[in-house]
């Protein structure tokens, strides 16, 4: 199995196994994550230990998704006798009681089949156990790790280790051998499949790659050290260098170098403030909210230029000219002149769409700023994920395992290496426990057989789980338990509906058990043709059965919304709605998924099924709402939701500024140039204005373009995404224009 990226995709799609996707720096872990949406049929969310890591991964922070307080988690229902930490440590009971998950986050965790955790080298074992507990509680499944969800861990254990404060070590040592994520209790009985990417894209020099590999594996030779130290330069030699960044070990040292070099410049200081919309907390800021620059300053780009491909994350440049909001820089190496543009970062949260019950993400805030930072120096820790053509490496005071390796592996080749201090063999260290873990788990020759075994187990798991309705019965019983405490309407007006659904599931129980037993016998006997036939017929039957019960539930839910003081109860009904919808998805996919696994398919396209289910539900819900509304009391008027106000730390929002410039007669391209933003960002602002009814779409788009996009929208199914529309039009229009026409069409059809 030579292509481990393909193997990783197959493990995700055709097994329920947890996976640890790892590899040396520059082997494509981030590329794999970015393509995961197109690769897998499983609904998933992405989380990461820090705000910047979450933004880079296109996800959210672990603490925000799981509502975990910034304290130590002890994986125990009872605290130790000597426990007296004043709230700095919690266990399962305290977490559940004092920090409960809200309904939205619970629904998100119930909706996913796959949890992706990026930058796992920073993830502590106790934090992973807290995630495990949250997943189990939210999904009502304490029998399986992470409540039965699959987990994809992405990272490199040879990067910098998780941080553990001195005062925590004594308590945590009672539970864990060390604090790497793989020591979590959640993984002891269900360890992840280890898949290591081995093709390096960053470096191409075999000699340099060999030295980096030796550094990782704690087998650095005398010749390796000698080769590296040939790149040592004296302070005088280094002082003459230009277009080069220093990688050092401590924040204070990097800050001191940047401040000193900036103060040397005699040009005036210019300050550029970020535009901040709505909810974008300071711990997520990808760059400084207030950037101070001078002509002659050395800067580094902090993200990739996906539009013009002019720069990448880590690319160096020098500020050549500043006029107002306009900044021109000279790129390192090529010396090409480039005008900086502000970029937009979005803070999002995962939600469940109330109409379709599908997983969705909602943008709740944005941050616009030039994607740069002063770059005479940067810490090794903050350099993770960056690539440099040349760098001054200053790791004479390396204090953490892996620092020397991380610093050197940022470089494309040894030609770009400059050492401020010689490499001391005693400063080179890789955690011996990590090396032992890798040696025990990196077994590429066994992956093919492991996959076959896990696939067979997954098919059995699908057969057993898909046609098991005990979870639905549990949710309904839970809702009925609290029913008598609900005031404001007669108890008998709602009880029969839930009881009807419960009774219908109970009436099917014996037949369902027989059906599952038949499938199990066929699977054991390798009667795959008959297995698929029976699964397909069973799926059709139970799909119809579930939709009948869903209709009863949705009508009941809409009726309950007409009453007051029933929020807790309607939340229970919404949970049951989600559980039935999830079961419908499982039943709908079962036969096709089993068939694809048995046929060895690598591509999985369940979109037609997803669209059909969404359409059926949407039609069903629309009819119910119309029916309930016609019989509702006329004096009950729904309140309009309050308009969310944009907030900015510096007066008018970036959205308001764009709108004002448009109203003053400027075009999209002019506004983008004047403001130093991309045209896509400006069009995104204007799409919001169209949605709010503040401007006509024809104020910035011509009739022909609007008509072409609108006609294409009409050809797509109701539950389409902007990505599908973009692909259908073959990239002819930007996402901002597409969003504008989408809301325009929605407004005129409302």
pLDDT score of 642: 41
Asked whether the predicted pLDDT for residue 82 surpasses 60, the reply is: no
Q: What is the pTM of this model?
A: 0.79
Find, among 314, 301, 311, the residue nearest to 336 by Cα. Answer: 311
Of the pLDDT bands very low, low, confident and very high (cuts 50, 70, 90), residue 718 is: low
Is the Cβ–Cβ distance between 296 and 264 less than 8 Å?
no
The rounded distance, in Å, linking the Cα atoms of 652 and 258 is: 32
Is the Cβ–Cβ distance between 391 and 245 less than 8 Å?
yes
- Copy the structure tokens of residue 187: 């993984």
The rounded distance, in Å, linking the Cα atoms of 630 and 617 is: 20
Owner of token pair 């493990």: 11
The predicted-structure confidence for 495-526, as pLDDT tens digits, reads as follows 578 888 999 999 999 999 999 999 999 999 99
Three-class DSSP category at 79 = coil
- Copy the structure tokens of residue 182: 């793989």
DSSP for residue 371? S
Owner of token pair 């006997």: 525
The rounded distance, in Å, linking the Cα atoms of 164 and 177 is: 13
Give me the count of residues in the chain: 750
User: Which residues are 152's β-sheet partners?
Assistant: 19, 116
pLDDT score of 79: 67
Highest mean pLDDT among 165-174, 424-433, 436-445: 436-445
Q: How far is CA 291 from the centre of its chain?
A: 28
Select the more confidently predicted residue: 120 or 696.
Answer: 120
- Mean residue pLDDT across the chain: 85
Burial of 705 (0-12, 13-18, 19+ CB in 10 A): middle
Of the pLDDT bands very low, low, confident and very high (cuts 50, 70, 90), residue 87 is: low
Phi, psi of 364 (to 5 degrees): -110, 0
Three-class DSSP category at 58 = coil
Report the relative pairing of strands 89-90 and 72-73 from DSSP bridges: parallel
The rounded distance, in Å, linking the Cα atoms of 588 and 590 is: 6
The predicted-structure confidence for 581-610, as pLDDT tens digits, reads as follows 999 999 999 999 999 998 888 778 888 888
Of the pLDDT bands very low, low, confident and very high (cuts 50, 70, 90), residue 422 is: confident
Alpha helices by DSSP H, 643-721? 654-663, 668-675, 679-691, 703-715
DSSP 115-129: EEE-SGGG-BHHHHH
pLDDT score of 699: 86
In the chain, the largest separation of any two C-alpha atoms, in whole Å, equals 88
Of the pLDDT bands very low, low, confident and very high (cuts 50, 70, 90), residue 202 is: low
Asked whether the predicted pLDDT for residue 692 surpasses 50, the reply is: yes
- Copy the structure tokens of residue 403: 């620092």
Asked whether the predicted pLDDT for residue 485 surpasses 70, the reply is: no
CA atoms within 13 A on the CB side of 287: 26
Three-class DSSP category at 566 = coil
The predicted-structure confidence for 254-297, as pLDDT tens digits, reads as follows 999 999 999 999 999 999 999 998 889 888 899 999 999 999 99
Angle between helices 447-466 and 495-524 in degrees, nearest 10: 140
pLDDT score of 477: 85
Asked whether the predicted pLDDT for residue 168 surpasses 50, the reply is: yes
Helix, strand and coil content of the chain, in percent to the nearest 5, comes to 50, 15, 35
The rounded distance, in Å, linking the Cα atoms of 328 and 554 is: 58
The rounded distance, in Å, linking the Cα atoms of 157 and 122 is: 9
Q: What average pLDDT does this structure show over 50-72?
A: 89
Phi, psi of 325 (to 5 degrees): -90, 0
Q: Which of 20-29, 51-60, 608-617, 707-716 is predicted with the least confidence, judged by mean pLDDT?
A: 20-29
DSSP 262-286: HHH--SPPEEEEPEEEES--GGG-S
First CA to last CA across the chain, in angstroms?
53
Other CB atoms within 10 A of residue 441 CB: 16
Q: How far is CA 119 from the centre of its chain?
A: 11
pLDDT score of 632: 62
């Amino acid at each position: 199995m030579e292509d481990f990226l393909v193997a990783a995709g197959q493990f995700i799609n055709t097994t329920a196994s947890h996976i640890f996707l790892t590899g040396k720096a520059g082997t494509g872990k981030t590329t794999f994550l970015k393509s995961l949406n197109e690769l897998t049929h499983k609904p998933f969310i992405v989380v990461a230990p820090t705000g910047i890591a979450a933004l880079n991964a296109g996800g959210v922070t672990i603490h925000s998704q799981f509502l975990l307080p910034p304290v130590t988690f002890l994986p125990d229902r009872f605290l130790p006798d000597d426990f007296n930490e004043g709230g700095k440590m919690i266990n399962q009971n305290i977490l559940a009681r004092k920090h409960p998950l809200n309904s939205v986050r619970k629904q998100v965790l119930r909706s996913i089949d796959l949890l992706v955790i990026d930058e796992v080298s920073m993830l502590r074992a106790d934090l992973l156990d807290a995630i495990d507990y949250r997943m189990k509680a939210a999904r009502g499944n304490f029998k399986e790790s992470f409540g039965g969800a699959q987990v994809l861990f992405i990272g490199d254990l040879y990067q910098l280790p998780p941080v553990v404060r001195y005062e925590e070590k004594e308590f945590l040592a009672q539970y864990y051998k060390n604090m790497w994520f793989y020591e979590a209790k959640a993984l002891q009985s269900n360890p992840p499949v280890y898949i290591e990417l081995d093709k390096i894209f960053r470096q191409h020099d075999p000699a340099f790659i060999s030295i980096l590999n030796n550094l990782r594996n704690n087998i650095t030779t005398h010749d390796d050290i000698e080769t590296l130290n040939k790149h040592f330069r004296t302070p005088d030699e280094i002082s003459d260098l230009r277009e080069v960044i220093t990688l050092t070990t401590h924040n204070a040292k990097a800050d001191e170098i940047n401040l000193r070099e900036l103060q040397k410049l005699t040009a005036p200081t210019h300050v550029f403030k970020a535009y901040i919309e709505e909810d974008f907390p300071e711990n997520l800021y990808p760059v400084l909210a207030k950037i101070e620059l001078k002509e002659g300053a050395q800067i580094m780009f902090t993200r990739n230029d996906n539009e013009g491909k002019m720069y990448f994350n880590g690319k160096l440049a020098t500020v050549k000219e500043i006029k107002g909001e306009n900044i021109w820089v000279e790129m390192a190496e090529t010396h090409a002149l480039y005008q900086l543009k502000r970029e937009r970062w979005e803070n999002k949260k995962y939600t469940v769409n109330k109409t379709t019950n599908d997983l969705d993400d909602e943008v709740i805030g944005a941050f616009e700023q030039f994607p740069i930072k002063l770059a005479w120096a940067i810490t090794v820790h903050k350099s993770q994920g960056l690539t440099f053509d040349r760098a001054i490496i200053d790791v004479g005071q390396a204090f953490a395992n892996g620092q020397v390796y991380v610093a050197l592996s940022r470089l494309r080749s040894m030609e770009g290496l400059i050492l401020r201090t010689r490499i001391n063999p005693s400063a080179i260290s890789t955690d011996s426990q990590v090396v032992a873990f890798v040696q025990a788990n990196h077994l590429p020759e066994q992956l093919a057989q492991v996959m076959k075994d896990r696939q067979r187990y997954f098919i059995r798991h699908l057969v057993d789980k898909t046609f098991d309705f005990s979870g639905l019965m549990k949710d309904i019983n839970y809702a009925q338990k609290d029913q008598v405490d609900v005031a404001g309407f007669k108890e008998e007006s709602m009880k029969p509906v839930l009881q009807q659904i419960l009774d219908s599931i109970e009436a099917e129980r014996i037949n369902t058990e027989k059906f599952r037993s038949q499938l199990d016998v066929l699977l054991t006997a390798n009667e795959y043709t008959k297995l698929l036939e029976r699964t397909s017929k069973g799926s059709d039957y139970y799909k119809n059965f579930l939709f009948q019960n869903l209709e009863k539930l949705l009508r009941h839910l809409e009726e309950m919304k007409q009453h007051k003081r029933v929020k807790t109860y309607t939340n229970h009904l919404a949970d049951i709605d989600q559980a039935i919808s999830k079961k419908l998805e499982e039943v709908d996919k079962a036969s096709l998924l089993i068939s694809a696994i048995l046929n060895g398919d690598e591509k999985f396209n369940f979109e037609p099924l997803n669209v059909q289910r969404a359409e059926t539900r949407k039609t069903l819900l629309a009819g119910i709402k119309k029916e309930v509304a016609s019989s509702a009391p006329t004096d009950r008027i729904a309140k309009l939701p309050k308009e969310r106000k944009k907030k900015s730390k510096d007066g008018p929002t970036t959205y308001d500024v764009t709108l004002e410039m448009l109203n003053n007669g400027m075009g999209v391209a002019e506004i983008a140039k004047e403001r130093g933003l991309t045209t896509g960002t400006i069009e995104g602002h204007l799409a919001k204005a169209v949605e709010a009814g503040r401007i006509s779409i024809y104020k910035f788009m011509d009739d022909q373009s609007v008509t072409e996009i609108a006609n294409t929208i009409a050809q797509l199914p109701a539950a389409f995404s902007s990505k599908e529309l973009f692909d259908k039009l073959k990239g002819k229009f930007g996402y901002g224009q597409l969003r504008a026409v989408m809301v325009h069409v929605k407004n005129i059809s409302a």
